[in-house]
Amino acid sequence: MLSIWQRAILGLLHEEGGSASKLRLVKLAFLFRNEAERAAANEVYEFLPYRRGPFSFTL
C-alpha cells in the first residue's frame, strides 16, 4: 500500500503529463510540502538549499 506522500508524488507526476525531470519533480515536491505544512501535515521529505533550488536526500 502506498503512503500518502507516495500517492502525492504520483499525483504530481500525473499532473505533469506522466513524466517530469528530476529537478522539476524535486521543485514540485518542495512546493507541495510547503502547502501541506500549512495544513498541519507531518513532514516526510526534508529539503536543503542547493545551487538550483531545494534538494532532498529522501525524495
Name the nearest CA neighbour of 26 among 1, 58, 36, 42.
58
Q: Answer yes or no: pTM beyond 0.75.
A: no
Please check whether residue 21 is in contact with residue 29, taking contact to mean a CB–CB distance below 8 angstroms.
no
Q: What is the pLDDT of residues 20-48, one digit of tens each?
A: 898 888 888 888 887 776 655 556 778 88
Residue 44, CB-side half-sphere exposure with 13 Å CA sphere: 13
Q: What is the pLDDT of residues 11-26, one digit of tens each?
A: 889 999 988 898 888 8
C-alpha cell recorded at residue 21: 525531470
